[in-house]
Structure 1
Amino acid sequence: MATPQLEDKLTCSICLELYQDPVTLPCGHNFCGDCIRDSWRRWKKMCPECRQPFPDGAEPCRNVALSGVLEVLQAAGRRPEPGLESRAGSGARCPRHGRPLELFCRTEGLCVCCACSVRECRHHERALLDVERRERETQLRARLVVTQEQITQAKTQLEELQKQHTQIQSSACNLASVVSSKFTSLIQALQLQQTLALRNIEAAKTQVLTQALDEMHQLQDHLEALAQHYHRVQNLLGQADDENFFQELQQLPESPEPLGPLTPLQWDEDQQLGNLNEYLSPLCNLLLEERNPPRVADVDDSSPVEALGPLTPIPSLMCPLRKKLWENYRNLTFDPESANRHFYLSHQDQQVTHGCHPRGPAGPDSFELWQVQCAQSFQAGRHYWEVHASDHSVTLGVAYPELKRHKLGKQTDNIGRGPCSWGLCIQEDSVQAWHNGKARRLSRVSGRLLGMDLDLVSGRLTFYSLEPQAQALHTFHALFSRPLYPVFWLLEGRTLTLCHQPGSELPTVPQGEASALC
């Protein structure tokens, strides 16, 4: 009686039954005589097992020995059972025939075995599985390259658009300041023309910035779609199972279409200023002869410290951004108890100078570092304040009450060096935003007159440079959970002044503790 292993050796790979009139091909593989001839009538004349071509005009030879074995098996009454399992082997198996998946049916998009190729898929277009896999991988890699190029192009366009957006904002702010300063110097009868000119500039700015924001949003959405498609393709290329690979490949969507060139932003400073000729033709030369706005405070750095004047009135002519910030202006004072022993406070604690000689022993609450904090703190609402620095090498920021007062290592400041403080460091050759020990390098700007806007409702801290016009330098986003104190660091010989609004009263500080401005 034959064993199942023997029956497996005596089974035709085409019909999956015991050989009937077995024949042998030159490659050594055996098949039923009728099965191999039927296969050749429907497909190429080659071996279904190894794909070796069979010579035209030749006939397969009858396998006498194998026929004798089959006669003995049939005489013993042993017949193959339905559903006989295929011999053991590695790789995925055909769920219908149990044979290895060696082919890919391009018509149906499925992995198939040799039996499928002469039965269900005999009229379909087929290819070897590994050949088809390599071809499809090549196509996917080409698609990946195109997607990466689109991502790079979109990022470049987005960066350029953001740069233009910033420049247009600054230009529009400058134009508004120029027009405002010029019209203010004219007689009352020209105020109507001034309002009209400012309205036109604001309308033009709104229109072009709206276009810029719309295109930025489109580019950001396009970048997200490209990134998702990029990751899907990468995941598909990492799929080890062939059957899952082709199943997921069928579901893979096409890569997003490129957005194409961006519409140029139509912003022309000369055109905006040229429109004034229609309203003020006799006065055009007067209005356009000077483009630079007036300085906020004309301070001589070489003057003595006492001559700086922290209460110097700030002119009312300023760009709309700074006017908006002034709605939440806070007058602050330095806390004498926190000042480093080399720091000298003056002008009702509104001005601090870093001197060469210590003024006395350090107090229990004073900074060992070259720092001082304000007597006021903020724990709710929105607040804005401004400072004037005599020179570079200063740091301004905010910190929680637990900010360390003592030195750690060789550092002379710790503003932004840990998780409980945020700072902006102004150096001679660089500007850096610091938080939690990480710095972000910013563009160089004038660091003499600076503003800080703290919005505890939305969790934003924004630093501004105010000369020649207000422009945002950096914004921190955080969930501020405890009261925040303005804190400052300054190098030896530097002076820092807290600017006060004209006519505003100094905030009241309870004895022994800092007040909270809410």
Structure 2
Amino acid sequence: MAAEIFEEKLTCAICLGLYRDPVTLPCGHNFCGVCIKDSVTRLGRECPECRELVPDCAALRRNVALSNVVELVQAAKWEPKPRPGAQPGALTELGPAACCPRHGRPLDLFCRTEGICVCSACTVFECRLHELALLEDERQEREAQLKATLETTVQQAARAKAELQKLQQRSSQIQSSACNLASMVSSKFSCLLRALETRQASALKAIEEAKTEQLVKAQVGEQQLQDHLEALARHDCKVQNLLGQPDDRTFLQESQLLAPPEPLRPLTPLQWNEDQQLGDLKKLLSQLDDLVLEEGAHPRVPAEAADLGPMEAPVPVAPVPSPVCPLRRDLWQNYRNLTFDPDSANRHLHLSCQNRKVRHRREPRDQASPNSFDLWQVQCTESFQAGRHYWEVRVSSHSVTLGVAYPELERNKQGTHIDNIGRGPSSWGLCLQEGGSQAWHNGEAKKLPAVSGRLLGMDLDLASGHLAFYSLEPQIQHLYTFHAIFTQPLYPVFWLLEGRTLALCHRPGSQEDTSEPN
């Protein structure tokens, strides 16, 4: 009984174990050095028993006399007592106690051969020829290994995220490309003979199947990357929790069971080739019209086309508005058929289809009119001074500008700009670029999102003073509206980059009697 009372007096009030490197506070209470430092860090600088302020932990000194008494008690109390069922001479696995169950000494060493914590007595007998290390040294080595593993998983996660982003972008490109191809194929076949409808459906089905096949691969790849990221995240969480484990024994036991996730397996590459999707169509339609598969061209093919030889490129026709689009049907009430003014066209702009289509080519025309633009621009013959007017154009790609201008728009190049539509007070323009679009007037630009559709509409209302731009594919979308008081006749004007094509879409039977002569 006296021994138990004596041992109780040598028990730390924080860890409830015998003192380890005890220190004495100014208030007279004793605690393990590690315990009181941890208590000050987590709970504040107060004595856990009397709440008196504790000085700087660096000033606390070890109680040598009390440490010697604790060592004597430990040496007198513990005797080799094997556990029930244990084999004689066998080492006991690390349990909840802080001392060796065979020798009663502190477990301050780690046997790398056996993978357990041992005391100094174990090194003389059972672990005499084993590889040993201090607990702190073993933990530092294990921590370094885990940190290196953590860095590797972080790098793998970054690479996986980059691959996921590329895969998602590629999937979006495939979806957009497939949508454009399907729209183009539909518009081509809608003008051909009924006998070609079967071929149209076959082409669309092939594109859809190819798109579905690639997108399925993309989804599988996305799921693989997501699963890998989740596995990396779970492993990182376990590593972080393990690095924060204060108990050395628990840390060493769990660290042996923790393994990093398997490396990411190679992803199946996505295969998408637009030329391959359209290869059969090109062969089939090349004999009918060399412009059938030209980017941005939507010709009107007569019923007799299959029996004709070479013929002139037909005039682009405005697609009929969908019954579910009341806005576009309202705009069509003021539809105007336009034509380009050949005298205004730059030498690099070549007109065709009765001056309703223009293409920018590197080779200039032999002659140029004195009234032509020095810039890559062309304006229409028609001008508008009153009323409301609407027209549609089809562009082959980005890097084109649509707008209207007064007759005084400069023909000569001034400044560093490659076009002058919207650069001054006498013109208004919408510039379509690959990464976005811009609305220009009087030298000021307003940035707008990118325009994916190639069929565009312009609504000019001189009475209310507004000029609105619309994207009509795949559905109608308002792009921007200028508000101004127009005081002079307005001419539609356009700018094209090299290789681009622009066509004025005509609506048969539309009103043109309100347009002013050039």
> Shared topology, TM-score over 0.5?
no
Bigger RCO of structures 1 and 2 (CA < 8 A, at least 6 apart) = 1
* TM-score normalised by L of structure 1: 0.43
